[in-house]
Structure 1
Amino acid sequence: MSSRYPQLLEQLRSRPSCWLVTGGAGFIGSHLVERLLGLGQRVRVLDDFSTGRERNLELVRQAVGEEASARLEVLRGDIRDPRACDAAAEGAQVVLHQAALGSVPRSIAHPEATHEVNVSGFVQVLQAARRAGIRRLVYASSSSVYGDSPALPKVEEAVGRPLSPYAASKACDELYAAAFARCYGLELVGLRYFNVFGPRQDPAGPYAAVIPRWFEALLSGRAVEVFGDGETSRDFCYVQNVVQANLLAACVEAPESLGRAYNVAVGRRTTLNELFVAIRDHVARLRPELAAVQPVHREFRPGDVRHSLADVGAARALLGYEPTHDVAQGLREAADWYLSPEGHAAPAAPGAAREGAA
């Protein structure tokens, strides 16, 4: 582990402040809320609960206890609403912007909604931060901005043409962040997430990510469908690595570290075939009869990138980022969650569990 992150955690414990986490009831957002409350911070969540879940915040409260939970304020509101954004930003010192409509296939089915939430909503959050005098805003971008660029590993300066409305929306966010930094002096840092996974990631719905859906499918006795031959690869990143990157970006002081977007990943590729075997082996601990089950392969899905691998050198050098979990370590922790009664309680969507690689 980098020496910078443990030192940062100690600094935060001694210097409590107020943080706004948009989308704080979501998968990644709730992990950020939990860590911040555990560090003695005051946390305000803005979420419309369209994809976030009350249950995630209940689990956070259980994890941190009553005293820390008293420092949590939850506002139900839409980031497209300037009044909701202004109310959430008032008195905050830092914003961690996680609210978004994720998923490449969702964006292909609903491009207008993707734009309204991911772009127009982001501009409203930026405006509210500016009006409130907030100095630092860290926002979630995506590896999808690399689009059709074939180069591996992905380096921040070499992006391609977007392959989906979701990718276009995240590329727009980066452009707006750069414009607001120049025009209004906001300190902005973007984080390009690469296929984040971990506890609380929802397996339900047609746009759920691959790892929770596969766990849920196997545990429920449903077929796992893989789009393509299974040799599509991703740089899967455990959620605690993402938490680290957000806190480092929120607190970094060096001017040269600001005003740019960083890859947040591990820097290793895993094919979907390898991922399936690893998940199946974890599930077989509970269900030995599944040890030899095989997935069903379907046609490739429009908008998906064939291979993705991050170069995290910039985040290491300029933020002090050092992943604490590789895929195997992350899957062990995620498996403990999904195999538990708590993790397996989430209802799954009907039908086969399909792989998106996003």
Structure 2
Amino acid sequence: MTARPQRIVVTGASGNVGAGVLRALARSEPTAELVGVCRRPPSRGELYRGVHWHAVDLSSASAAADLAPALRGADVVIHLALAILPVDDEAYLYRANVLGTQAVLDAMLAAGIRQLVYASSLGIYGPGVGVPVSETWPTTGQPTSTYSRHKILVETMLDEFERKHPYVVVARFRPTVVVQREAASELRSVYVGPSVPRVAFELLHRRLLPVLPLPAGLALQFVHADDVGDAAVRLMQRRARGSFNVAADALDARGIAGLAGARPVEVRPELVRRAVSALHRMRVVAVTPGWYDVATRSPLMDTTKARDELDWRPTWSSADAARELIDGLAHGVVGPSPAMGSTEGRRMTKTKTVERIHDTTLALWCLVAIARAGRPGPPGPLHGAVIAANLLSGTPAALARVRQRRRDPLALAAPPAVGAAVLASLRGGRSAAAVAVALGLLGMAERRRATRVVSR
């Protein structure tokens, strides 16, 4: 029987995946010494008690040397560390994720550690064909994604490392989108950004969206952080080698829209991608076109190997895991560590009641206009009530802009945009949908501006 590890080092232990791994280790290895490595060690949280923390910046040129005290005497390294922000700083992300992994490997060799469990990603796989794929699927990734390219470089690095050092046991787990309630702030900062108001997530949580536009053919898998942690610990305990897919069941467009109680409306994927590109350039949303490609072009994953060789099965369905994340987003939950948003305060930024009403009705205006794009004609009673409520709730902000004598582009564009949206709504059809969406984007940009002003 394999001896149990006495000292376990977890890089990136303070992040989303790290939380799941630490919980799994606490359950299955209660006597082991746990060493956490991250750039900003957490100072609070029951989860992190008993973990011996070392502050190491893996993007630093001295990272390998800085890791030496943490790795001294360890039996295994679980390498989870991943820099995602800033999403557009490719040079920094390369230093942190690619060169940082090389530093971990160098430090392992110097410390004589002979086991590594590495957190890879769904993002290494080439485009899918509509059916779940195994670990043998081509690892060509999504060329437009910095994240995907870097994950491929690291896996190639690990291939070479295993050839040169066959006595080191290397396992790689490839999870899909990892979620949990406490990761709401972290995931919001990566995929959404501050411009999208919290009320949008409250609409999702309350299942109040009538329709949800989605790229045609979209299917997604989620996986809860606790299930990922369980898989990582099983790899460690069984000294497994090779790659393992980690995911829950797949949700099609109907299942995704059902999370919000909505009806899915298919949109051409290339149009959605253009919108994502434009919104990212305008800094309205954080998600990049590359991240969009990873989400929409990557294949579904077959987890038969993990089930057969590790006896692993997800305890959370994709729908249940996604609902927990939506609950966290709706309630402004912030995780207990800096990596999970604790420096942002106890909760995400709150808005006044009238602003919440304005944001809610604006979102509904856009969605109803999209749903009625194929039907010209004046708005019905419900649609008209939504427009009226939005105009009334937006009046205080409009008057405030006048009092402040604002002459910035947003302030100047708001009155004609509102007027055009109202007039277009009287005619209905596609033009009404287009103008309503434009007004919605303007509202998101205004909310982002307000967030920046408050944070100064």
| Smaller-chain TM-score bracket | 0.7 to 0.9
The separation in 1 between residues aligned to 2:202 and 2:154, in whole angstroms, is 38
Is 1:17–2:6 an aligned residue pair? yes
C-alpha offsets along residues 208-243 of structure 1, whole Å, 9 cap, x if unaligned? 247xx9995535679999885365221111112101
Is 1:96–2:78 an aligned residue pair? yes
SS in structure 1 at match of 2:131: coil
Shift, 1:122, TM fit: 0.5
Partner of 2:366: none
TM-score by length of 2: 0.59
Between structure 1 and structure 2, the one with the greater Rg is 2
One-letter code of the match for 1:58? G
Percent identity between the two aligned chains: 22
The separation in 1 between residues aligned to 2:184 and 2:266, in whole angstroms, is 22
User: Which residues of 2 match residues 236-255 of structure 1 at below 5 A?
Assistant: 236-253=222-239
Aligned counterpart in structure 2 of residue 299 of structure 1, from 265, 268, 272: 272
Aligned counterpart in structure 1 of residue 161 of structure 2, from 180, 189, 192: 180
CA contact 1:22–1:98 (8 Å) conserved in 2: yes
CA contact 1:36–1:42 (8 Å) conserved in 2: no
Is 1:45–2:18 an aligned residue pair? no
Aligned counterpart in structure 1 of residue 307 of structure 2, from 316, 329, 334: 316
One-letter code of the match for 1:96? I
SS in structure 2 at match of 1:299: helix
Task: Give the paired residue count.
Answer: 310
Shift, 1:119, TM fit: 0.9
SS in structure 1 at match of 2:315: coil
Is 1:229–2:219 an aligned residue pair? no
Aligned counterpart in structure 1 of residue 173 of structure 2, from 166, 171, 191: 191
Aligned counterpart in structure 1 of residue 256 of structure 2, from 249, 269, 275: 275
One-letter code of the match for 2:100? G
Shift, 1:191, TM fit: 0.8
User: Which residues of 2 match residues 81-92 of structure 1 at below 5 A?
Assistant: 81-92=63-74
The separation in 1 between residues aligned to 2:79 and 2:168, in whole angstroms, is 14
The separation in 1 between residues aligned to 2:213 and 2:158, in whole angstroms, is 34
| Alpha-carbon distance change, 333 to 148 in structure 1, aligned in 2, over 3 angstroms | closer
One-letter code of the match for 1:135? R
| Alpha-carbon distance change, 182 to 340 in structure 1, aligned in 2, over 3 angstroms | same
Aligned counterpart in structure 2 of residue 150 of structure 1, from 120, 129, 132: 129
CA contact 1:147–1:167 (8 Å) conserved in 2: no
C-alpha offsets along residues 109-154 of structure 1, whole Å, 9 cap, x if unaligned? 2222222111110011111111111121101101111133436212
Any stretches of 5+ residues in structure 2 without a counterpart? 277-288, 336-345, 351-442, 448-456
SS in structure 1 at match of 2:154: helix
Partner of 1:326: 317
Aligned counterpart in structure 2 of residue 134 of structure 1, from 81, 101, 113: 113
The separation in 2 between residues aligned to 1:132 and 1:155, in whole angstroms, is 34
| Alpha-carbon distance change, 94 to 216 in structure 1, aligned in 2, over 3 angstroms | farther
CA contact 1:149–1:160 (8 Å) conserved in 2: no
TM-score by length of 1: 0.73
Any stretches of 5+ residues in structure 1 without a counterpart? 1-7, 62-68, 282-291, 354-358
SS in structure 2 at match of 1:101: coil
| Alpha-carbon distance change, 294 to 88 in structure 1, aligned in 2, over 3 angstroms | same
One-letter code of the match for 2:200? L
| Alpha-carbon distance change, 102 to 308 in structure 1, aligned in 2, over 3 angstroms | farther
Richer in helix (by share): 2
